[in-house]
């Protein structure tokens, strides 16, 4: 598993990063017969191929969601079938579909496509103009902690990814900067330590 994670971590996913249909899966619990959330997230991540798409990232988190996965399929029908496959593994979740990402010139930076430090995934509800929130967060770079931001359709508006090598500075950025960002109404954040996963 560590080798597979390192290969995916390298960012060598080519066009898979921004083509097709992307969705974010937020696990709140799993079928008790499937094991723990960590067990299920690791089984999803193992790299075994799915018939209808791929899992670009999966891990357990600490926060209001206990697991997270970034899914990719060729189209919406493929995504529906991939989600059904994951439900068959015991996942019980909420989903958000990615409909846009931060863009700087020709460079795109969407959520959870590279890097493995301590990760904060921040669900953001805006009071209007979620696209402006995505752009302004990326343009600011959040003290070098910004890794990506995605505009989503779901029960929130924006999914922000921040990373750091230590937890304290990352938590402070979320608490003191992101929470008070212009047009941000409220946030929820989950954290995961991926430093020893390679």
- pLDDT band of residue 198 (cuts 50, 70, 90) is low
Render pLDDT for 22-81 as a digit per residue (tens, 0 to 9): 999 999 988 888 888 888 888 888 757 788 899 999 999 999 999 999 999 999 999 999
Asked whether the predicted pLDDT for residue 8 surpasses 50, the reply is no
pTM for the whole structure = 0.89
Name every residue whose Cβ is closer than 8 Å to that of residue 52 and which is 6 or more positions away in sequence. Answer: 73, 78, 79, 81, 82, 85
Render pLDDT for 150-192 as a digit per residue (tens, 0 to 9): 999 999 999 999 999 999 999 999 999 999 999 999 999 999 9
Q: What is the CA radius of gyration of the chain?
A: 16
- Strand, coil or helix: 178: helix
Query: How far is residue 158's CA from residue 156's CA, in Å, rounded to a whole number?
Result: 6
Identify whether the C-beta of residue 185 lies closer than 8 Å to the C-beta of residue 125. Answer: yes
Delineate the domains of the chain, giving CATH numbers in brackets.
2-97 (3.30.70.920), 100-193 (3.30.70.920)
Render pLDDT for 113-139 as a digit per residue (tens, 0 to 9): 776 899 999 999 999 899 999 999 999
Residues in the chain: 198
């Amino acid at each position: 598993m560590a080798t597979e994670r390192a290969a995916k971590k390298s960012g060598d996913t080519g066009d898979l990063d921004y083509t097709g249909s992307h969705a974010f899966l937020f696990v709140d619990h799993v079928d008790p017969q499937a094991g723990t959330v960590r067990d299920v997230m690791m089984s999803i991540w193992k790299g075994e191929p799915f018939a209808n798409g791929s899992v670009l990232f999966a891990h357990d988190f600490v926060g209001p969601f206990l697991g997270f996965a970034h899914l990719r399929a060729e189209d919406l029908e493929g995504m529906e079938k991939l989600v059904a496959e994951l439900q068959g593994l015991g996942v019980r979740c909420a989903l958000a579909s990615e409909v846009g990402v931060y863009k700087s010139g020709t460079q795109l930076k969407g959520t959870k496509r590279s890097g493995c430090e301590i990760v904060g995934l921040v669900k953001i509800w805006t009071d209007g103009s979620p696209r402006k929130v995505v752009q302004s967060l990326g343009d600011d770079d959040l003290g070098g902690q910004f890794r990506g931001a995605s505009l989503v359709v779901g029960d929130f508006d924006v999914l922000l990814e921040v990373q750091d090598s230590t937890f304290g500075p990352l938590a402070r950025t979320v608490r003191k900067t992101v929470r008070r960002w212009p047009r941000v109404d409220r946030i929820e954040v989950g954290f995961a330590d991926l430093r020893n996963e390679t």
